[in-house]
Amino acid sequence: MLRWLRGFVLPGVACQKDEDDLRYEILFQDLDSDGDGLVDIVELQEGLKNWGLSSGQNSEKHIFEAGNTNDDSGLDFEEFMQYLKDHEIKMRLAFNSLDKNNDGIIETSEIIAALKSLGVNISEAQAKKILQSIDSDGTMTIDWDEWKYYFLLHPAKNIDEIAHFWKRSTIIDIGESISIPDEFTEQEKRSGDWWRHLVAAGIAGAVARTCTAPFDRLKVMMQVDYTTSLIYWLSLDSSTYIITQLYSTNEVLSIFLRTGK
């Protein structure tokens, strides 16, 4: 994503750490469009949009809230730097978890294996599309610098969230006819617990609707028919009266026919 930042050459820089700090300072200054020393949520949104970094799902909000440790109106340079350093550590862990053979690069086979472990099966061609979106030097591999700068301002915190980003993005089309909700773990998917959750929720919804439908119908009748409403409140046995009215007007069946609407 931030390929221009990786290619920015800084002469006379002593080490990688100092070079990264200077790059991040340039990044902060570019985001701080009004030059007030703070990057607010609007500036962050505009900056990510201009760089083509916005990944949706309130990504700017997640970054802003994670970095804004003092809960003021914007990120100062120290907060911005600390967020990037903390995020870099998380991305290093994600990179290492993908780099199974510890050779310092990520290949298509490792992307396929990582997604498969999360229950997402992709072809080699789809894995190559993911790799090409990050690979900036045409080697068909991803080194640490390419990975770091690509996810530098991405809200994903671990390999699971990165995999979900790949799954949802336009980079690949998984083509699933039925998708299991992302909040279920792989263990829950294998054990079938997710089906139990969905079935239980469906039954609970049906029962709740069936129980409330008659009362909804009574409310409508009382709103429409003032006489019925008055008798309801004044009658010593109002419930008996209403039920009698429903039976006499063949409304009992209609109550439950409307339940599924």
**202 and 164, same structural domain?**
no
Rounded Cα distance, 71 and 80, in Å: 13
CATH code, domain with 93: 1.10.238.10
**221 and 123, same structural domain?**
no
pLDDT tens per residue across span 47-58 = 888 877 766 657
**213 and 130, same structural domain?**
no
pLDDT tens per residue across span 2-18 = 554 555 444 444 456 67
Q: What is the pTM of this model?
A: 0.60
State whether the Cα torsion 239-241-242-247 is positive or negative.
positive
Rounded Cα distance, 257 and 121, in Å: 43
Q: What is the per-residue pLDDT for 155?
A: 86
Rounded Cα distance, 179 and 190, in Å: 14
Which residues make beta-bridge pairs with 105? 143
Q: Which domain holds residue 155?
A: 3-168
What is the CA angle 21-24-29, rounded to 5? 125
Kindly calculate the radius of gyration of the chain based on its CA atoms and give it in whole angstroms: 29
**203 and 146, same structural domain?**
no
Strand, helix or coil at 142? strand
How crowded is the C-beta side of 109, counted as CA atoms within 13 Å? 3
Q: What is the per-residue pLDDT for 11?
A: 44
